[in-house]
Amino acid sequence: MIEGGCRCGAVRWRLDADRLPLTYACHCLDCQTWSGSAFSQQAIVAQDRFEGTGPVGQFDLPSADGLRISYQMACPICFTRVWNTNSSRPGRVVIRAGSFDNSHRLTLAAHMWTIRKQPWLKLEPAVPAWPEGPPRADEFYRLIGAPVMGG
């Protein structure tokens, strides 16, 4: 069982898995703003293997075209954003990498939106990176070991 949670410990999550999932980094402006840092890092896992507990606060953010809704889960006490789901990606949960208890053991499988990355950050050439979003979602999901879903 893999576990994690928010900064104050009120919100916790458990992932039914033997090993840590792969993660990816997004360097887009939204991710910089939302993480309050240089980039966001997260893992995509199967929702039926994930369980969150505690007083979860939810923030719903529609996409600009109104076709998708991002459901952001955060701790209402310490305001750590811990995981999210998206109406366009049913069955998957996106876990914020920093919320893993063993975040120091995570590995990174891909970078996206490197056109917007902070200039001091040097990326390992062996790690796949795209200037903007990944051109093919199925290849991206396979690369980061995300659960394969229909559609």
* C-beta of 48 vs 68, nearer to Zn ion: 68
HEC readout, 81-99: EEEEEECCCCCEEEEEHHH
d(CA 133, CA 78): 31
Q: How far is the CB of 19 from Zn ion (least distance, A)?
A: 25
Q: How far is the CB of 45 from Zn ion (least distance, A)?
A: 18
Query: For residues 29 and 133, is the Cβ–Cβ distance under 8 A?
Result: no
* C-beta of 33 vs 102, nearer to Zn ion: 33
* C-beta of 15 vs 82, nearer to Zn ion: 82
* C-beta of 1 vs 29, nearer to Zn ion: 29
With H, G, I as helix, E, B as strand and everything else as coil, classify residue 47. Answer: helix
Q: Which residues of 44-74 are buried (b: 16+ CB within 10 A; e: fewer)?
A: bbbeeebebebebeeeeeeeeeeeeebebbb
Q: How far is the CB of 116 from Zn ion (least distance, A)?
A: 8
Q: How far is the CB of 11 from Zn ion (least distance, A)?
A: 5
Binding residues (CB under 5 A) for Zn ion: these are: 6, 8, 10, 26, 28, 31, 75, 77-78
